[in-house]
Amino acid sequence: MNSELFSKERVMTSLDKTFCVILPKNFSKIYLFWKFSNFKIEKFEKKEYSHNLIIKILDRDNNTIMETSEIWNSGKIYLNLPKDNLSCYVKIYANTINGKLEEIATSNIIDIPFEKENKVNYGNYKVMIKL
Amino acid sequence: MSNKGYLIINLHAHLPFINHIDKNYIEENWFFEAVVESYVPFIRMIENLQKDNIKPSITLSLSPTLGAMLENENLEKKLKIYINSRLELIEKEFSRENDERIHKILKVYQNLYEQAAEMVVRYSGDLITPLKRFQASGDIEIITTSATHSILPLLIHKEAIDAQITMAVEDYKDRFNKAPLGFWLPECAYDSRIPDFLKINDLKYFFLEDNSVDLNSENEILSHYKVSNGLNVFLRDSNSSMQVWSSQFGYPGNGEYREFYRDIGYDREIEYLKEFTGSDLRIPTGLKYYRVTSLNTELSSKEYYDYEKALIRAESDARDFLGRIISRFDSYNNLKSKPLIVNCYDAELFGHWWFEGHIFLENIIRIIRKDRIPVQIITPSEYIAISQSPQFISPQLSSWGEGGYFDPWLNESNDFIQEKIYEATEKMINLANRFKNQDLSLLYKRALNQSAREVLLLHSSDWPFLIYLGSHREYAIKRFYSHLENFEKLIKGVIDKNIDEQLLINLEKQNNIFPRINFKIFSSKSNI
């Protein structure tokens, strides 16, 4: 086994990542969650980044379709989309101490379906069976 | 008489993986109840039809987690104890009750549990054996689903989707000595990334909810399709499925059928029940003496169940079901092909919840034969073999769950698991990539393999669903965190080069699903 490649420090460093993920909940709502690397957390804690994040939802052509803000350490937020039937992703920005907007995380891209006629709730049966 | 159209009936059999070595959990009863009330009656139904030379052509999607439980020796021992305890309870009820109506019902249950006991002995506790035989004789087609029944669109890492599908296919090959042809997307949950992963694994078809595409006419609904990579798609017909599925609008709500909720577990004294249930809690025993009566009747006012009358009802409902199918076939006017109706249900609906469900199903199959009804029940692969030029569709994100999307598995009650799933999966992929080409000692390989099992178990759709429902919420949370903790301990051992071998042995014994797993299933591959 290559001991350099598998040194504890090296493995731990590779696991300390920033991530920002969106999941589709339905045709009008997405769930965003994020976690910052220790390096970025330190910047927030030292107030090198402002505490409020700017969250932008962009379409596949990078047009901003929505913008909101959220405190940096809440870690999650549900976002209502202004329209259905699109591909989108999220960028998270923080204001630096110099007043510049810095992009600090980018999410995966997901497809949002179009709104369909509401289906009959089959969940009832499942509720019953597991009781 | 030639048939007017085709009917696919797919029963999806799944339970979360449960294997507790240390003590008994009431959640194990899900498995025991499903075996006695659903899986054994299903096997008996196919045996009965075989004896009369009737080919059922039913499709069964069997989850790898349930497959593993059906072969598990620990659960087999507990199942025998469960069945015996119920037979003893039935004996006690015979002597406790003087009402002849209850005695008649008790005889039905006695027969049910005795048949289960007999079948468990006959197949040496391994109920996969008869299923394998039914498939070999062409009576049923068995397909698979994702390894731990994960909602695939909620997995962000392509390596995770690949691992869930690849592991399921490998598990199926080990269990059935052949490759699966079809794939059941758990909860019919679909996104456009999935077909390519299915294709890489040589799967030929999958099912989708009919709301996944914008269909306008009956002709469009009653057809067979392909997606852009050539995989066959069967759209579940929500209209006819509803007829069976719904307690409110469908057959199971009929007053003659057995009432699911009124169980003696809620009527008798706790002390009396404890001897048989082994629990201080009020839990269902499986013995239910009442019929639905009417949907508006209070549980306390339900009338006694009459099995003979319920059997008559099941036959007339089967005839009604077929009549509706025929009238839909008659309204179909595409001359290029015959219509196809695809019905998909949870296998546990039949027997466990709708007590007479198998009788209904067997009636459908027998009536078609006996009365020469022009409907042919067919398996998907048989249908593909005769189907000509299906159209291509581009399905959208969808599921068969509440609301038609992913709300039951992603909402304020259960969203806390998503970050943890993401992070654990990311770590597993990282480690798989790091170690995949290394000459590792057996201990390291075992630790990484067990880590992969724990991550797959984290992905299970059952945990968020149970948390959302509220029933068994604590159990679901406990299970989720136990797999997460197991994973973290194992990878810490790998990273620190200090693996706790006793912990590893214990986990290999308890979470012993996928005995031949290789952690490399989580590594990044060039073709995905």
Residues B115-138: tens digit of each pLDDT: 999 999 999 999 999 999 999 999
Task: Look up tokens 């940096």; give the residue.
Answer: A72
Please name every residue paired with A91 in a beta bridge, in sequence order, or none if there are none.
Answer: A56, A106
Task: Look up tokens 């008659």; give the residue.
Answer: B330
Q: Chain B contact for A108, CB < 8 A?
A: yes
Share of chain B above pLDDT 90, in %: 88
| Residue A123 pLDDT greater than 60, yes or no | no
Partner residue opposite B397 with nearest CB, options A111, A122, A131: A111
Q: How many helices (H) and strands (E) does chain B have?
A: 19, 10
Question: What integer is the mean pLDDT of B481-497?
Answer: 96
Q: How many CB pairs under 8 A join A and B?
A: 134
B465: which chain A residues are within 8 Å (Cβ-Cβ)? 126
Please name every residue paired with A55 in a beta bridge, in sequence order, or none if there are none.
Answer: A68, A92
Question: Chain A: residue nearest B471 by CA?
Answer: A131
Q: Chain A contact for B22, CB < 8 A?
A: no
The neighbour count for residue B252, using CB atoms within 10 Å, is 25
Of the listed ranges A106-115, B22-31, B252-261, B415-424, the least confidently predicted one is B22-31
Output the CA angle B392-B393-B398, nearest 5 degrees: 155
Q: How many helices (H) and strands (E) does chain A have?
A: 3, 8
DSSP one-letter code for B335: T
Closest Cα of chain A to B389: distance in Å?
Answer: 27
- Report whether B219 contacts B252 (CB < 8 A): no
B45-52 CB contacts, 8 Å cutoff, 24+ apart: B45/B358, B45/B361, B45/B362, B46/B130, B46/B134, B46/B139, B46/B140, B47/B130, B48/B362, B49/B139, B49/B362, B49/B365, B49/B366, B50/B134, B50/B137, B50/B139, B52/B366
pLDDT at A8: 72
When pLDDT is cut at 50, 70 and 90, the band that residue A118 belongs to is low
Please, which residues have CB within 8 angstroms of residue B25's CB and are 6 or more apart in sequence?
Answer: B18, B475
Please name every residue paired with A35 in a beta bridge, in sequence order, or none if there are none.
Answer: A19
Q: Report which of residues A100 and A13 the model is more confident about.
A: A100
| Residue A119 pLDDT greater than 80, yes or no | no
Laid out side by side, the sheet with A29-35 consists of A19-24, A29-35, A76-80
| Mutation site, A35, A122, A129, interface B, largest B CB count within 10 A | A122
When pLDDT is cut at 50, 70 and 90, the band that residue B325 belongs to is very high
Closest Cα of chain B to A99: distance in Å?
Answer: 30
- Say whether B376 sits in a helix, a strand or coil: strand
| Residue B370 pLDDT greater than 60, yes or no | yes
The tens digit of pLDDT for each residue in B205-259 reads 999 998 889 887 777 878 899 999 999 999 999 888 888 877 777 899 999 999 9
Q: Chain B contact for A118, CB < 8 A?
A: yes
Of the listed ranges A69-73, A126-130, B132-136, B184-188, the least confidently predicted one is A126-130
Question: Exposed e or buried b for every residue in B91-122, given b needs 16+ CB within 10 A?
Answer: eebeeeeeeeebeebbeebbebbebbbebbee
Closest Cα of chain A to B363: distance in Å?
Answer: 23
Closest Cα of chain B to A46: distance in Å?
Answer: 25
Q: End-to-end CA distance of chain A: give it in Å, rounded.
A: 50
The tens digit of pLDDT for each residue in B415-449 reads 999 999 999 999 999 999 999 999 999 999 999 99
Question: What integer is the mean pLDDT of B471-478?
Answer: 94
Contact B246 A17 (CB under 8 A): no
When pLDDT is cut at 50, 70 and 90, the band that residue A127 belongs to is very low
Averaged pLDDT of chain B: 95
Question: What integer is the mean pLDDT of A23-49?
Answer: 96
Query: Of all helices (H) and strands (E), which one includes residue B182?
Result: strand B182-184
Averaged pLDDT of chain A: 86
State the pairing for strand pair B182-184/B140-145.
parallel
| Residue A122 pLDDT greater than 60, yes or no | no
pLDDT at B450: 98
pTM assigned to the model: 0.94
Q: Chain B contact for A86, CB < 8 A?
A: no
Crossing angle of helices B442-458 and B158-176, in 10° steps, is 100
B154: which chain A residues are within 8 Å (Cβ-Cβ)? 23
- Say whether B8 sits in a helix, a strand or coil: strand
Q: Chain B contact for A21, CB < 8 A?
A: yes
CA distance B513 to B66: 10
pLDDT at A125: 43
pLDDT at B1: 62
- Residue closest to B227 by CA, chosen among B201, B256, B196: B196
Of the listed ranges B211-220, B366-375, B381-390, the least confidently predicted one is B211-220
CA distance A87 to A107: 12
Q: Residue B291: what are its φ and ψ, rounded to 5°?
A: -110, 165
Question: What integer is the mean pLDDT of A30-39?
Answer: 96
When pLDDT is cut at 50, 70 and 90, the band that residue A5 belongs to is low
